[in-house]
């Protein structure tokens, strides 16, 4: 049984079909990448799954439960977590408190939440920043806090929204390594939306490519990089050739 | 039957005044996403301005229109440059309470200066007269108000669509950043929006004194009406403000006559509530 | 119980705040013995009651960021319930009050359920409108006395069953106890799950929702709690003044005062409402008395309005925000 099964998803925005008859399946423990040029409909698909938008058509099943139309707090309680590009909760709360908000999802006891949040911050390697305020931190650290907040809600499927945006190459590498560690340690299923190929290509087991609201390709990273339709969508012919030369796949 | 027709037309005429009151609010909200709690108070200031000008200079209230418009314009601009400009940088609660503070300030300023009594105008071109149009009785003040109101609407509408200034305003409303890249001074546009909002409601105030009492706490009543009207018409839509104003006129006047005058307020609120729950975008809003 | 421990422990606050708090308690305790003037005592009691209102409003308005401008209706509904039950059926204070608070809370629940679907400005306007409508209703409702109000019968004092006393000292301590309970509750609240979730919502609704928080429900719950505080204040008002009418317990000015006061003192901080009340209530009473004697009305509100405008423009976190900023610099 697939962990997440999306069938025939369609979402219209004022006449423009942002998502058109999209179907996909994600198995437990997989790392799936979602790529596509700007305006392909990645964010819309993402938002429909987490519940931020209600799809016009189609069914979304999570652990074989129909969650179509569920609101974000409901999908979260079912086990879907997500990060935001800007995860700033509040300049008034410390990093630890921010993560505690996620922990409070599973407990109402402050002490348990605090311990839980501390533990998660250890996992993302931010033990020394627990008492800092978000506004004082660099972007890379903020992103990790965001990750910690989502992890605190104990998701089974973690959806990552442009987790590398704003990061320099070194930070991106570290983020990728962190994600892989978390994936191995917790067996977490990851659904990664990305523009930055250096994130998506190395860690995804499977990649789905969107363009113009539809899926145009699906497969292993290696195959996707050579897929004509994908290259055409991106006009990244030179890029695909360049990738091969650097041998990162 | 004639009674019904008379009441109907009378209500529609009143509605045009509501539309004018709402227009200012619609412009301000359209150009920048802030709500002017003090809008009713701007109306009140317009009313007192017109009233004082008419009584002190012993001129016809109609002639006070330009004065009220000017004062309203200045009040709007002053509000923007001295307060709103800073509020826009803060969180929403600051914006809300900031214009709310302005409302309280003006309300009690009027109370302090003029006292709580109700005042009315005795003399004027329009006051107390009515004409018969076929079987229907039309009150002069309402008729005059409606005509001038439509005129004001027409001018604003024309300005927004056909002048450079109007287009600049619309541009700022749609996308502030893009507008500034186009060389539009968005700060001035915003100040102007407030000025225009103040001016239109100032004119409405000058018209209103022809057939309504003047008192310091009138602001909140019309604030509610304006909000309900703009909510119904759709925040940011000028066309919407006009049509919604007419509908509001019908609801309030007819409701007041047939259900009971003490329920007027409840009707306003009910309309607002229904609109906001059923169709938050209003009829034409974005 | 852990909840009690949380409520009572102020250990995480800086020493200066704890000292300030203790001084505040001492001041309130010895006040009736050092200040004997009737007017001053009345102002002090007013101050305490407004602390109660403010601490309550701070929940939904400060921590919650929802500008609810109709608290007067909660005060009034509770006050009227208590008054009616006492006058018509001689029900003791300690039974009427929970009922009064319940009435206010239920109304808040129903209202909140519908109103919290609205965006910020709509919500604020709607709360004003509802409050005004209720006031109109009460003015026209003959069963509860309409505009004439309700007068409570005089009983033999001191009377702890109906909470009627001839000396303000009793009322002072009663109000003080209420405020202390409110402060302890706030102390628990800011560390509780509800408190954190509320702050998360205020900061960023989308992120909060993605973390499993049911935004609508949290707001409604908080609004009800605010109603409880206001309701307690209303009940106190009834037995303190022994007379209520729709113009003294349900008026717009009351709602405005509560909101302005909390905002000026510092919405969203624990001590903000108290600071706000400390400044505004004495200012209001003494200024009002001085000016009213001269026939000048409205200046007090003009001053508060100016203060709010300045605070909104420059330091939305109020006076407490200024204090905190100064502290961080050191």
| Extents of the domains making up chain B | 2-218
Which pLDDT score is estimated for A241? 55
Of A104, A163, B73, A75, which Cα lies nearest the Cα of C201?
A104
Percent of chain C scoring above 90 in pLDDT: 45
Indicate whether A67 and A169 sit together in one domain: yes
Last residue of a domain, one of C216, C250, C284: C250
pLDDT top residue among A176 and B175: A176
Q: Measure the CA–CA gap between B155 and B264, rounded to whole angstroms.
A: 31
The structure tokens 């800086």 sit at C14
Residues A70-76: contacts with CB within 8 Å, 24+ apart? A71/C209, A72/C206, A72/C209, A72/C210, A73/C209, A73/C210, A73/C211, A73/C212, A73/C213, A73/C214, A73/C215, A75/A49, A75/A50, A75/A51, A76/A50, A76/A105, A76/A153, A76/A155, A76/C209, A76/C210, A76/C211, A76/C212
Given a cut of 90, whether residue A238 has pLDDT beyond it is no
Neighbours of A95 (CB within 10 A): 25
Chain A: give the shortest CA distance to residue C214, in Å.
Answer: 6
**Which residues in chain C have their CB less than 8 angstroms from residue B98's CB?**
308-309, 312-313
For residues C103 and C178, membership in a common domain is answered with yes
Residue A156 has pLDDT above 60, yes or no: yes
Claim to verify: residue C258 and residue C237 sit in the same structural domain: no
Residues A20 and A32 in one domain: yes
Q: Distance between CA A42 and CA A35 in Å, rounded?
A: 7
- Whether A90 sits inside 8 A of C202 (CB atoms) is yes
Is the pLDDT reported for residue A248 higher than 50? Answer: no
Q: Minimal Cα–Cα distance from C97 to chain A, Å?
A: 30
Which of C2, C190, C204, C211 best probes binding to A when mutated, by most A CB atoms within 10 angstroms? C211
Which of A154, A170, A205 corresponds to the end of one domain? A154
A64 and A142 assigned to the same domain: no
Taking each continuous run of H as one helix and of E as one strand, the counts in chain C are 15, 2
Q: Which of A119, A154, A189 is the last residue of a domain?
A: A154
User: Quick one: A133 and A189 in the same domain?
Assistant: no
Q: Are residues C78 and C208 in the same domain?
A: yes
Q: Is residue C188 part of a domain?
A: yes
State whether A147 and A223 are in the same domain. no
Looking at chain A, the whole-number percentage of residues with pLDDT higher than 90 is 29
Residue A95 sits in the same domain as residue A47: no
Contacts of A104 in chain C (CB under 8 A): 193, 196-197
Q: Which chains sit next to C, with 3 or more Cβ pairs under 8 A?
A: A, B
Its domain, for residue A12, covers 1-76+158-249
Give me the percent of chain B exceeding a pLDDT of 70: 94
Shortest CA gap C206–chain A (Å) = 8
Q: What is chain A's mean pLDDT, rounded?
A: 85
Instruction: Flag whether C89 is in a domain.
Output: yes
**Chain B residues with CB-CB distance to C267 below 8 A:** 93
Residues A40 and A87 in one domain: no
- Mean pLDDT over residues B179-186, rounded? 80
Contact assignment for C260 to B104 by CB distance below 8 Å: yes
Contacts 24+ apart (CB under 8 A), A118-125: A120/A148, A120/A151, A120/A152, A121/A95, A121/A96, A121/A145, A121/A148, A123/A148, A123/A151, A123/A182, A123/A185, A124/A148, A124/A151, A124/A178, A124/A182, A125/A178
| Residue A61 and residue A86 in one domain | no
Residue with tokens 């109370």: B111
The answer for C 4-33 residues in CB contact with B (under 8 A) is none
Residue C257: inside a domain: yes
How do residues C92-128 score in pLDDT, each as one tens digit?
Answer: 999 999 999 999 999 999 999 988 887 777 788 889 8
**Do chains C and A meet with 3 or more Cβ pairs nearer than 8 Å?**
yes
- How many domains, in total, are found in chain C? 3
In the 3-class helix/strand/coil scheme, how is chain B assigned residue by residue? CHHHHHHHHHHHHHHHHHHHHHHHHHHHHHHCCCCCCCHHHHHHHHHHHHHHHHHHCCCCHHHHHHHHHHHHHHHHHHHHHHHHHHHCCCCHHHHHHHHHHHHHHHHHHHHHHHCCCCECCCCCCCCCCEEEECCEEEEHHHHHHHHHHHHHHHHHHHHHHHCHHHHHHHHHHHCHHHHHHCCCCHHHHHHHHHHHHHHHHHHHHHHHCCCCCECCCHHHHHHHHHHHHHHHHCCCCHHHHHHHHHHHHHHHHHHHHHCCHHHHHHHHHHHHHHHHHHCCCCCCCC
Do C152 and C174 fall into the same domain? yes
Distance to chain C for A157, nearest Cα, Å: 13
DSSP tag of C144: G
Mean pLDDT of the region C192-198:
92
How confident is the model over B121-173, as pLDDT tens digits?
776 666 666 777 666 777 777 787 888 888 888 888 888 888 888 888 888 77
**Whether C206 and C276 share a structural domain:** no
Q: What are phi and psi of A18, to 5 degrees?
A: -70, -40
Contacts of B223 (CB under 8 A, 6+ apart): B37, B39, B40, B41, B103, C125
**Does C230 lie in the same domain as C314?**
no
Same domain (yes/no): C26, C74: no
C195: distance to nearest CA of chain A, Å?
Answer: 10
- Residues A146 and A163 grouped into a single domain: no
Across the interface, whether the CB atoms of C203 and A88 are under 8 A apart is answered: yes
Instruction: Determine whether the interchain pair A73/C199 forms a contact, defined as Cβ–Cβ distance below 8 Å.
Output: no
C215/A73 Cβ within 8 A: yes
Is the CB of B217 inside 8 Å of chain C's CB atoms?
Answer: no
pLDDT bin (cut points 50, 70, 90) of residue C315 is confident
- The 8-class DSSP code of residue C152 comes to P
Give the pair of three-digit tokens for residue C18. 């704890």
pTM, to two decimals: 0.87
- Find, in chain B, the residue whose alpha carbon is nearest to that of C297: B112
A52 and A134 both lie in a single domain: no
CB C253 within 8 A of CB C128: no
Residue A162, helix vs strand vs coil: coil
Which residues of chain C does B103 touch, with a Cβ-Cβ cutoff of 8 Å?
A: 305
Residues C71 and C198 reside in one and the same domain: yes
Interface A-C: count of C-beta contacts within 8 A: 76
Same domain, A205 and A220: yes
Q: Which of B40, B49, B5 is nearest to B197 (CA)?
A: B40
- Does A176 lie in the same domain as A53? yes
Q: Which residue of C lies nearest to A73 if distances are taken between CA atoms?
A: C212
Which chain B residues are closer than 8 Å to C299 by Cβ? 108, 112
Alpha helix positions (H), C242-317: 246-249, 252-266, 272-293, 299-314
Q: Report residue A174 as tokens.
A: 């570290």
Q: What is d(CA A192, CA A150) in angstroms, rounded to the nearest whole number? A: 14
Query: Tokens 């490519």 identify what position?
Result: A209
Last residue of a domain, one of A134, A154, A174: A154
Q: Which domain holds residue C308?
A: 253-330
Q: How confident is the model at residue A89 (pLDDT cuts 50, 70, 90)?
A: low
Which residues in chain C touch residue B35, judged by CB atoms under 8 angstroms apart?
Answer: 121, 125
Q: How far is C279 from chain A (nearest CA, A)?
A: 25
- Do C61 and C108 belong together in one domain? yes
Q: For residues C238 and C328, state if they share a domain.
A: no
């Amino acid at each position: 049984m697939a962990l997440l099964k999306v069938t025939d998803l369609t979402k219209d925005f004022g006449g423009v079909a942002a998502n058109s008859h999209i179907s996909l399946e994600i198995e437990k423990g997989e790392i799936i990448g979602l790529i596509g040029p700007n305006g392909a409909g990645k964010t819309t698909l993402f938002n429909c799954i987490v519940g931020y938008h209600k799809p016009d058509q189609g069914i979304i099943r999570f652990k074989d439960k129909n969650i179509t139309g569920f609101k974000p707090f409901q999908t979260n309680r079912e086990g879907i977590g997500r990060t935001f590009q800007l995860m700033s909760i509040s300049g008034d709360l410390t990093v630890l408190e921010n993560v505690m908000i996620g922990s409070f999802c599973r407990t109402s006891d402050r002490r348990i939440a605090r311990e839980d949040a501390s533990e998660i911050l250890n996992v993302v390697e931010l033990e020394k920043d627990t008492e800092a305020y978000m506004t004082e931190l660099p972007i890379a650290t903020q992103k990790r806090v965001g990750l910690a907040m989502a992890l605190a809600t104990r998701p089974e499927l973690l959806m990552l929204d442009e987790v590398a945006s704003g990061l320099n190459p070194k930070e991106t590498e570290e983020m990728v390594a962190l994600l892989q560690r978390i994936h191995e340690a917790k067996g977490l299923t990851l659904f990664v939306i990305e523009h930055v190929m250096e994130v998506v290509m190395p860690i995804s087991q499977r990649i789905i490519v969107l363009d113009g609201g539809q899926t145009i390709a699906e497969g292993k990273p290696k195959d996707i990089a050579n897929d004509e339709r994908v290259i055409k969508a991106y006009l990244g012919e030179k890029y695909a050739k360049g990738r091969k030369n650097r041998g990162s796949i | 039957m004639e009674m019904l027709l008379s009441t109907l037309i009378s209500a529609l005429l009143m509605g045009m005044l509501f539309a004018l009151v709402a227009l200012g609010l619609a412009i301000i909200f359209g150009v920048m996403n802030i709500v002017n709690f003090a809008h009713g108070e701007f109306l009140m200031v317009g009313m007192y301005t017109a009233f004082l000008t008419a009584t002190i200079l012993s001129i016809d209230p109609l002639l006070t229109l330009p004065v009220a418009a000017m004062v309203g314009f200045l009040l709007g601009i002053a509000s923007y440059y001295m307060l709103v400009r800073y509020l826009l940088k803060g969180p929403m609660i600051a914006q809300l309470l900031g214009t709310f503070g302005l409302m309280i300030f003006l309300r009690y300023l009027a109370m302090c200066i003029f006292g709580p009594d109700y005042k009315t105008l005795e003399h004027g071109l329009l006051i107390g007269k009515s004409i018969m149009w076929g079987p229907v009785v039309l009150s002069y003040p309402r008729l005059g108000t409606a005509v001038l109101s439509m005129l004001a609407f027409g001018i604003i509408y024309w300005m927004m669509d056909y002048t450079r200034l109007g287009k600049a305003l619309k541009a700022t409303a749609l996308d502030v950043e893009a507008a500034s890249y186009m060389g539009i001074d968005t700060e001035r546009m915003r100040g102007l929006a407030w000025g225009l909002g103040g001016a239109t409601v100032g004119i409405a105030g000058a018209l209103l004194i022809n057939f309504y009492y003047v008192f310091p706490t009138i602001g909140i009543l019309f604030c509610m009406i304006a909000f309900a009207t703009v909510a119904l018409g759709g925040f940011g839509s000028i066309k919407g403000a006009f049509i919604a104003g007419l509908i509001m006129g019908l609801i309030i006047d007819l409701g007041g006559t047939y259900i009971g005058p003490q329920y007027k307020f409840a009707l306003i609120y009910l309309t607002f509530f229904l609109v906001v729950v059923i169709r938050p975008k209003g009829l034409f809003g974005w | 119980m852990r909840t009690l421990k949380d409520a009572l422990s102020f250990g995480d606050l800086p020493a200066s705040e704890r000292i300030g708090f203790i001084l505040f308690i001492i001041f309130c305790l010895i006040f009736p013995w050092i200040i004997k003037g009737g007017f001053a005592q009345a102002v002090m009691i007013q101050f305490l009651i407004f602390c109660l209102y403010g601490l309550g409003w701070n929940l939904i308005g400060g921590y919650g960021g929802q500008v609810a401008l109709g608290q007067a209706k909660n005060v009034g509904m509770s006050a009227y319930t208590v008054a009616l039950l006492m006058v018509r059926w001689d029900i003791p204070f300690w039974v009427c009050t929970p009922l009064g608070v319940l009435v206010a809370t239920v109304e808040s629940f129903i209202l909140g359920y519908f109103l919290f679907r609205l965006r910020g400005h709509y919500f604020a306007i709607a709360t004003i409108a509802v409050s005004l409508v209720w006031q109109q209703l009460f003015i026209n409702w003959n069963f509860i006395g309409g505009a004439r109000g309700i007068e409570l019968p005089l009983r033999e004092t001191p009377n702890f069953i109906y909470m009627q006393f001839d000396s303000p000292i009793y009322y002072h301590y009663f109000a003080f106890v209420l405020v202390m309970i409110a402060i302890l509750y706030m102390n628990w609240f800011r560390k509780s799950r509800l408190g954190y979730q509320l702050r998360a919502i205020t900061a960023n609704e989308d992120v909060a929702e993605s973390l499993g928080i049911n935004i609508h429900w949290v707001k409604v719950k908080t609004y009800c709690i605010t109603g409880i505080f206001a309701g307690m204040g209303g009940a106190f008002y009834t037995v303190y003044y022994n007379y209520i009418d729709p113009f003294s317990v349900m008026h717009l000015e009351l709602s405005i005062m509560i909101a302005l006061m909390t905002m000026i003192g510092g919405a969203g901080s624990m001590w903000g409402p108290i600071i706000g009340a400390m400044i505004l209530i004495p200012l209001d009473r003494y200024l009002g008395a001085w000016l009213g004697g001269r026939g000048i009305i409205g200046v007090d509100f003009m001053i508060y309005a100016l203060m709010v405008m300045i605070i909104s423009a420059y330091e939305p976190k109020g006076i407490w925000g200024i204090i905190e900023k100064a502290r961080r610099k050191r």
